[in-house]
Chains A and B, each alone.
Chain A
Amino acid sequence: MDSSVDPAEILAVRGLSAGYGGRAVVSGIDLSLDRGDILGLLGANGSGKSTLLRAITGQIRPLWGEVAIDGVDLAGALERAKSGFGLAIDPSDLPVALTGRQYLQLVASIRGCAESDWPGVNVAERLGLKRWIDRLIAEYSLGTRAKIAIAAALLGAPPLLILDESLNGLDPLAAFEVKRIILALASSGRHAVIISTHVVEAVPGLCNRAVLLAEGSIAQEWDARQLADASHAPGAFELHVMKALSEPMSWQRR
């Protein structure tokens, strides 16, 4: 690890541009995440949230800029950097021919941990996966697939947990449990979490930071204090975000 790297910093994104076929979808992204941070990633459809997360998780090569995870440069040591995060896979990308247990065994074998090596809690039990765990993923509903994807992302207790719209489709109880797990992870001071979501109202209660992406760039950021200020009344933060979203390019004029 570079000695100049802040040991508390889990994710460092500097001047990142990324996209497809040589065309940038996100550009000029600077982002830093410390242990204990829970970042809410907001934005309209097509604003570049998933592209940004794909670039951070090494699924697409950045056109420009740098990404370091837990002090490891993604471009320089791809596999070492990837061991620093757990990504909840999109439910449609899960291997449907395997059972939930086999999928967990697959991920655990790659991460070199036990299939139940979760940080502090038995995630399968907490998310109500036990009666599904030996059934084929092909039989799972969208919510159950999201649960197994989250359970797999938490295996081996990676320092950075990334949830790309994974809270969508969860039943209220599972969503509540996932939020509790996320808060526990952050409060342990060893982990950071990125949550990309359209559920804007969940952000102030769950996250201590938020970022709004618009047209591939960071349009607005909130820290813990600003989030608290912005959500002083029910629906106030939503209103704030909707206003920012409905005024295209207004953030650039500021």
Chain B
Amino acid sequence: MRHDRLVLTLLWRELLAGLRSMRRRDLAWIVAGGGALLAYAIADIVVALQAGAATLRQVQPLWTFGLPGTLFGLGGFAGNALARLCLSRAFAPFLRALPLSLRERRRMAAVAACTLGVPIASIVATAVGLGCVVIVKPLAPVWGLGAAILFGAGFCVAAVLRLRSARDLVHPDTADLAGDPVGRTPWLGAFDRSTPAWLSSWAWGLPAGRITLSWRLVGAAILFGFAAVVAAFISLVRQDAVPAAMAGLTGGLMVFMLSVRFHPLGSPVLRTAPLGFARAWLRLARLPLQLSVAYFLLPAGAALAAEPSAWAMPLASGFWLLALNGAYAVFAAYFMTAPFVAALSFLSAIAYTSYESLEYGRTVLIGFAALVLFLWHRAQRRYRHG
């Protein structure tokens, strides 16, 4: 079909336009800095693999379940994300008026997702194959090929499910928002009145500040509530503060990451207003932070009740929660319109910092703090000057 490559062409043009809009100096920094970081990471991984080669070769569960499961899951994750990206372009506003059927749009998205998926699968296959070569695992090319097949399987399953579930996005547009709010009291009104008023409702896309219950929201609330109760129960039964304190920390961070949104920072509404970056940033982080702390309090209270002598643990968890929430808020402000990329970058940075701190100690945290400060500076500059 003649439209099949349309989504792919759109994505390619967007990439080129994005690259062209960047200053050459910034581009050089990204290429040189990113390249150097990647080279260092590869060297570090090779050294770590060589050091643990004998052990890695012997761990049967890793080769039987761990690696295949991870590859399949990774493929599913990539397939879902790419299919979503391609669908968003297939249903782009400027394409809505064109006589393209739902089937044609799905096909355009599928062609683009597959075309992008093939090089990613090749990279995964090469990485696994080379990893096997480094640890002297027999049949390294076969493992590479198997990795590509498993990744591809996960990719295809997730992409097909996502593409099949695509509704006709051409006709219903703002139907979710278009309910008549006249006469109803906005639910969030009491919490969203401080300057600038209604900023959280805007950030969360709540129509007129009203929270509309959805299965996703209810499911998440049940899941988080269940996790908090189970962790508190375990701590109380074992009289051990650790499970509840850890649940409070990780759950609180997840609540914050899932709820914080900074896209209004990119809007001319705020950028042309006499409102500083720090004030807008703090205001946008305020309600998610309150939610995060509210979630933290139940398991932290249980941890304190379970082991009163270990009061320092929930206290330290609370401080860590504030520090991590603050760091994530900086990542999310930098990637203001892409919360998924923000979360992925933040978790990768945390994982890499944790890994390096095993080798070099806590001084690595200085590097993480420097990264956070750099992102803060860039986000502030972008808010001020585009």
Contact = CB atoms under 8 A, between A and B. Distances in A.
A107 B269 CA distance: 8
B182 interface: yes
Contact of B272 (A89, A97, A138, A139): A89
Interface of A: 20-22, 54, 57-61, 78-80, 82-83, 85, 87, 89-90, 93-99, 102-103, 105-111, 134-136, 138-139
A83 B272 CA distance: 9
B257 interface: no
A20 B21 contact: yes
Interface string B1-40: 0000000000000000000111110000000000000000
Nearest to B274: A83
B384 A21 contact: no
A102 B202 CA distance: 10
A21 B182 contact: no
Contacts, number: 114
18 contacts: A21-B20, A21-B23, A57-B272, A58-B271, A58-B384, A61-B384, A79-B276, A80-B274, A85-B272, A93-B269, A95-B202, A98-B201, A102-B201, A106-B198, A109-B195, A110-B195, A111-B274, A135-B182
Contacts of A136: 174, 177-178, 181, 207-208
Contacts of B267: 93, 95
A98 B202 CA distance: 6
B276 A106 contact: no
B167 interface: no
B274 A102 contact: no
A185 to B, nearest CB: 19
A108 B198 CA distance: 11
A102 B273 contact: no
A85 B197 CA distance: 20
Given A21-B21, A21-B22, A97-B202, A61 B178 contact: no
Q: Interface residues of B: mostly helix, strand, loop or mixed?
A: loop
Contact of A79 (B198, B208, B275): B275
A155 to B, nearest CB: 10
A61 B271 CA distance: 12
A107 B180 CA distance: 23
Given A21-B23, A58-B385, A95-B269, A106 B182 contact: no
Contacts of B367: none
Nearest to A156: B274
B131 interface: no
Q: Count chain A CB atoms within 10 A of each CB in B21, B174, B180, B269 and give the residue with the most.
A: B269
A82 B264 CA distance: 17
Contacts of B208: 97-99, 102, 136
Interface string B192-218: 001111110110111111000000000
Contacts of A61: 384-386
Contacts of B180: 135
Contacts of A59: 268, 271-272, 385-386
Given A22-B24, A82-B274, A106-B197, A97 B205 contact: yes
Nearest to B20: A21
Contact of A82 (B181, B194, B272): B272
A43 B264 CA distance: 30
A79 B202 contact: no
Interface in B89-111: none
Contact of A106 (B24, B177, B196): B196
A79 B267 CA distance: 16
Nearest to B381: A61
A97 B20 contact: no
A138 to B, nearest CB: 4
Nearest to A162: B272
